[in-house]
Amino acid sequence: MNNEFKIKFWGVRGSYPTPGESTIKYGGNTACVEITVNEKTIILDAGTGIIPLGRELVKKAMQEKREIELLLLFSHLHHDHTQGFPFFVPAYLPKAKLHIYGPGGTAETVKHVLEHNQSSETFPISLREMASFKDIQSLRESQVIIWDEDGVRVAEPNSKSSSEAVVIRIHKSYAHPGGVYVYRISYQNKSVVYATDTEGYIGTDRRLVNFSRDADVLIHDAQYREEHYFGSLNGFPATQGYGHSTATMAGEVAASAETGQLILFHHDPSYSDAWVAAQEERAKKIFLDSRAAYEGLEIRLPKSFIEIANSKLFNQTSEVLK
Ligand SMILES: [Zn+2]
Ligand SMILES: [Zn+2]
């Protein structure tokens, strides 16, 4: 094992795709984040960013002469988080294995929404006709996803897992219309929290703060400027209650949860690159290690983190032995 833990952003825009010269720096594709832990691929949401990611995964699998297996997690099922899926090439490959999980009122909700998105009236190819093997489930907040040497499985809390397992926990947030799942993806002593489409509360969202505590990376919704949110920006309606945050709200969660770094996500589609850059400055005033996500941004959690952990342990042990 080479202990790789990598986060790559393929789509960072909220609500709808925004190609054009004012969005070149941060990009115009809707939500999609790829997490790679060693050979395991975990995809967060299927906005239009998943389309180029799909092509890349197929290319890589062909080069490495292996079949694709991946885990796709939906934060929720709004358009901007599902609209790329019909164009996701791995879903068409007969030998590809896709585990597709998300929220829902019944165990079938995710499947039904994807089927509906590809009904004969709306799209030429149905979900069934996509040739891959698909394991589609709506999960409960208390369930845990484990991906280890035995494959991917949904387990009950406190289930045992090996040290090589990627473990994913769910936090159900009510701070978005219809609710949204926040995921915490952990591998050994590193973790990333994906909290998109969530609105801050006065005094910060304490449940989210607890869930995100000490994560290495917090990816947090930061759609709006303060003035936009509160309705004092000329030409923009107030957006309080829409289920999205300001950069300040995101910064407050990162600071309270003492996360390693903060990535601002789900940029408003009407915002230019300059406005998104200003959001980053705003967040930095509260939480210094803040960055606005852009398409192509890669974060590698230190390759040597296990060695760092071991050397800490070694130092502590040698202190005790003294
Ligand atoms: Zn969204
Ligand atoms: Zn949404």
Q: 103 pLDDT exceeds 50?
A: yes
pLDDT tens digits for 214-251? 999 999 999 999 999 999 999 999 999 999 999 999 99
Whether 283 and 222 have beta carbons less than 8 Å apart is answered as yes
CA distance linking residue 18 with residue 272, whole number of Å? 10
Distance from Cα 81 to the centre of ligand 1, integer Å: 6
CA distance linking residue 36 with residue 29, whole number of Å? 20
Q: 3 pLDDT exceeds 60?
A: yes
Distance from Cα 288 to the centre of ligand 1, integer Å: 25
Q: Where does the chain show beta strands of DSSP type E? A: 5-11, 32-37, 40-44, 69-73, 97-102, 133-138, 144-148, 151-155, 166-173, 180-187, 190-195, 217-221, 261-265, 290-292, 298-300
What's CA 151's distance to the chain center, in Å? 21
The confidence score (pLDDT) of residue 322 equals 39
The confidence score (pLDDT) of residue 317 equals 45
Q: How far is CA 204 from CA 48, 208, 254, in A?
A: 30, 8, 10
**What SS3 state is found at 210?**
helix
End-to-end distance of the chain based on CA atoms, in angstroms?
Answer: 33
Burial class (CB in 10 A: 0-12, 13-18, 19+), 210: exposed
The confidence score (pLDDT) of residue 206 equals 97
Q: What average pLDDT score do residues 142-147 get?
A: 97
Distance from Cα 180 to the centre of ligand 2, integer Å: 8
Ligand nearest to the CA of 45: 1
Burial class (CB in 10 A: 0-12, 13-18, 19+), 65: exposed
Which amino acid is located at 277 in the chain? A
Burial class (CB in 10 A: 0-12, 13-18, 19+), 142: exposed
Q: How confident is the model at residue 159 (pLDDT cuts 50, 70, 90)?
A: confident
DSSP 231: T
Whether 183 and 75 have beta carbons less than 8 Å apart is answered as yes
**Which domains are delineated in the chain?**
5-321 (3.60.15.10)
Distance from Cα 226 to the centre of ligand 2, integer Å: 19
Ligand nearest to the CA of 178: 2
Q: What is the mean pLDDT of the chain?
A: 94
Distance from Cα 213 to the centre of ligand 1, integer Å: 24
The confidence score (pLDDT) of residue 95 equals 97
Distance from Cα 34 to the centre of ligand 2, integer Å: 19
Distance from Cα 222 to the centre of ligand 2, integer Å: 13
Distance from Cα 287 to the centre of ligand 1, integer Å: 23
For 285-321, b/e burial (b = at least 16 CB within 10 A) is ebbeebebbbbebebebeeebeeeeeeeeeeeeeeee
Ligand nearest to the CA of 48: 1
Tokens found for residue 35: 């997490």
Angle between helix axes 273-284 and 247-257 (nearest 10 degrees) is 40
Ion ligand 2: residues, Cβ under 5 Å? 78, 197
**Who contacts 54 (Cβ-Cβ below 8 Å, separation ≥6)?**
87, 88, 89, 90, 91
Q: 318 pLDDT exceeds 70?
A: no
Distance from Cα 30 to the centre of ligand 1, integer Å: 8
Q: What average pLDDT score do residues 116-123 get?
A: 97
Q: What average pLDDT score do residues 85-89 get?
A: 98
Q: 320 pLDDT exceeds 70?
A: no
Return the minimum-mean-pLDDT range out of 44-53, 196-205, 307-316: 307-316
pLDDT tens digits for 181-216? 999 999 999 999 999 999 999 999 999 999 999 999
Distance from Cα 87 to the centre of ligand 2, integer Å: 20
Distance from Cα 135 to the centre of ligand 2, integer Å: 23
Distance from Cα 168 to the centre of ligand 1, integer Å: 21
CA distance linking residue 188 with residue 202, whole number of Å? 34
